[in-house]
Amino acid sequence: MSDHEDGQRYSVPPVERALKLLRFIAEGNSCENLSTVARELEINRTTLIRLIHTLEKNRMIEANGERSGYRLGAGLVSLGAQAMHGRDILQVCLPILKNLCKQTGMSAHLGILDGTDIIYLGRETPNSHLVSNIRVGSRLPAHGSSIGRVILAAMPDAEVRTLFADMDLERISDKVPETCDQIIDQARDDRRLGFAWSEGNFESGIGSCGAVIRDHTGWPAGGINVSGPESRFARDGSSQEIAIRNAVTDAAMQASVMLGFDPGR
């Protein structure tokens, strides 16, 4: 028996119909005219009324305020939030980091924002003596690291300004911003590109490329990067540059989708 036939055999029609109705409402259909909805979903009208009553009773849907019809309910939103919370970012990203490391042959890292610093939560290194000296638990200034830069780039300028307001920024290198205005300019450039690229910006001889990870609300939950010899990060439009950039941004998007982010939103 094929997987398709097996799935059909064990499928539960009432559950299928309830899911079909929930997806229909989630797409913005309010179900004002039940006869029309029943025809469109190919569900018996009496069955549709029972489904609506059951879903409403369990707070999966709710009356649409002053308008007629229904919308997704607080119970379903809560259930979704619990599911997203359970998909811990580290748990989601560890296999992605492993694959990214294998794909690029460079060290891959996961980090989150803590104040104006980045804390590294995950690390995967290749079998090579040329590996990153970043360890899990390491902290770096957000505006100087490619992971921190993409997180800042995904935040509103006003929030970035508030974060770095009145801070005395230590000089890191001539490629790293030293004022709040410069950090915002850098964030805008990174936002336009969709990634952060470093040619020895933070540490001479080391290059990196980072991309943001978004949660189910679209907010930056963290970032992923790869780092390696600066010679591999020349901005020359080469196939190597494109391959690194695509590998990192694809990995970050994969993690985002697994955390509930909708790229089409």
Q: Find out whether 198 and 233 touch, Cβ atoms under 8 Å.
A: yes
Q: Please, what is the average pLDDT of the chain?
A: 87
Structural domains of the chain, ranges and CATH numbers in brackets: 3-83 (1.10.10.10), 87-258 (3.30.450.40)
Is beta strand 220-229 parallel, antiparallel or unpaired with respect to 196-199? unpaired
Residue 205 pLDDT class (50, 70, 90 cuts):
confident
pTM over the 0.75 mark: no
pLDDT at residue number 203: 82
Residue 193 pLDDT class (50, 70, 90 cuts):
very high
Q: Say whether pLDDT at 251 is over 60.
A: yes
CA distances from 190 to 101, 106, 121, 152, 180 (A): 23, 22, 22, 9, 15
Question: What are the DSSP E strand ranges found in 175-235?
Answer: 196-199, 206-214, 220-229
pLDDT at residue number 142: 92
Q: Say whether pLDDT at 86 is over 70.
A: no
Q: Say whether pLDDT at 77 is over 80.
A: no
CA dist 252 and 225 (Å) reads 9
- Residue 170: exposed, middle, or buried by beta-carbon count in 10 A (0-12, 13-18, 19+)? exposed
Q: With both helix axes pointing from N to C terminus, report the angle between 89-104 and 239-258 in degrees, rounded to the nearest 10.
A: 160
Measured in Å, how far apart are the chain's first and last C-alpha atoms?
Answer: 39
pLDDT tens digits, 42-65: 999 999 999 999 999 888 998 887
pLDDT at residue number 48: 93
Residue 166 pLDDT class (50, 70, 90 cuts):
confident
> Amino acid identity, residue 55?
L
Q: Say whether pLDDT at 2 is over 60.
A: no
pLDDT at residue number 139: 87
Phi and psi, residue 101, nearest 5° = -60, -45
Q: Say whether pLDDT at 11 is over 70.
A: yes
CA dist 207 and 218 (Å) reads 28
Using alpha carbons only, give the angle 157, 158, 161 rounded to the nearest 5 degrees.
Answer: 85
pLDDT at residue number 85: 54
pLDDT at residue number 169: 84
Lowest mean pLDDT among 18-27, 122-131, 180-189, 246-255: 122-131
CA dist 255 and 208 (Å) reads 19
